[in-house]
């Protein structure tokens, strides 16, 4: 179904409303993901470090977390960010475009990029390890420090994207 626009002004209003809705959705998505990362950083990883079987529990989470709901929000927000980044560059003269582009890049690089480059490979290595072996326990010790560090970065980037999207919405 095609939407017919009577003139250029109607098309621009439609695009403006679409950009607003996408920015609003990206703000919510980035904020939700920031919260997920935050709770892992401040509570879940600390708890797993203190309990016997923490490594096996994390291995289980590495299988359970990438589910359709989480991936829908995580990657869906990334897709919306990609669209908004393109829209911002094409419509650079629009008020707030710089903020929206900065927020989109912050999420794409700081949340998705860090996840792909650092956290997922560490998860894969952990999943392949035997929790009862000395090598597995050594991996777990290093994993706790390194994975959590990169998770802090993802948390800050996602929260920063949320705040920057909000600034972009206010600037409109």
What does the pLDDT read at residue 158?
98
What does the pLDDT read at residue 3?
59
Could you report the per-residue pLDDT of 35-73, keeping only the tens digit for each? 999 999 999 999 999 999 999 999 999 999 999 999 999
What does the pLDDT read at residue 160?
98
Q: Which two tokens stand for residue 3?
A: 């939407």
Handedness of CA 7, 10, 14, 15 (dihedral sign): positive
Structural element, H or E, at residue 28: helix 8-39
Q: Which of these ranges, 6-10, 125-129, 139-143, has the smallest mean pLDDT? A: 6-10
Which of 74, 75, 98 minimizes the C-alpha distance to 87? Answer: 98
Where do the domains of the chain lie? 15-171
Which of 26, 41, 24 minimizes the C-alpha distance to 114? Answer: 41
Q: pTM of the entire structure?
A: 0.93
Q: Which two tokens stand for residue 51?
A: 């309990």
* Confidence label for 2 from pLDDT (cuts 50, 70 and 90): low
Longest dimension (CA), the chain: 71
Beta-carbon contacts of residue 166 (< 8 Å; ≥ 6 apart): 27
Q: Which two tokens stand for residue 99?
A: 């903020």
Which of 140, 112, 136, 88 minimizes the C-alpha distance to 37? Answer: 112
Which of 86, 73, 71, 82 minimizes the C-alpha distance to 108? Answer: 82
Rounded Cα distance between 109 and 81, Å, is 11
Residue with tokens 């904020």: 31
User: In the 3-class helix/strand/coil scheme, how is 68-120 assigned residue by residue?
Assistant: HHHHHHHHHHHHHHHHHHHHHHHCCCCCCHHHHHHHHHHHHHHHHHHHHHHHH
């Amino acid at each position: 179904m095609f939407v017919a626009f009577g003139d250029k002004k109607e098309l621009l209003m439609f695009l403006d409303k679409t950009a607003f809705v996408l920015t609003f959705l990206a703000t919510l998505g980035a904020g939700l993901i920031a919260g997920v990362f935050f709770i892992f950083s401040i509570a879940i990883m600390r708890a797993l470090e203190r309990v016997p079987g923490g490594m096996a529990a994390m291995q289980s989470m590495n299988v359970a977390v990438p589910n359709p709901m989480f991936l829908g929000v995580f990657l869906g927000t990334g897709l919306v960010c990609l669209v908004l980044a393109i829209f911002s560059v094409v419509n650079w003269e629009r008020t707030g475009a710089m903020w929206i582009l900065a927020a989109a890049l912050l999420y794409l690089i700081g949340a998705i990029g860090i996840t792909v480059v650092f956290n997922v490979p560490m998860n894969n290595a952990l999943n392949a390890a035997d929790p009862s072996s000395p090598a597995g326990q050594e991996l777990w010790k290093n994993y706790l420090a390194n994975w959590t560090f990169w998770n802090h970065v993802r948390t800050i980037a996602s929260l920063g994207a949320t705040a920057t999207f909000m600034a972009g919405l206010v600037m409109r």
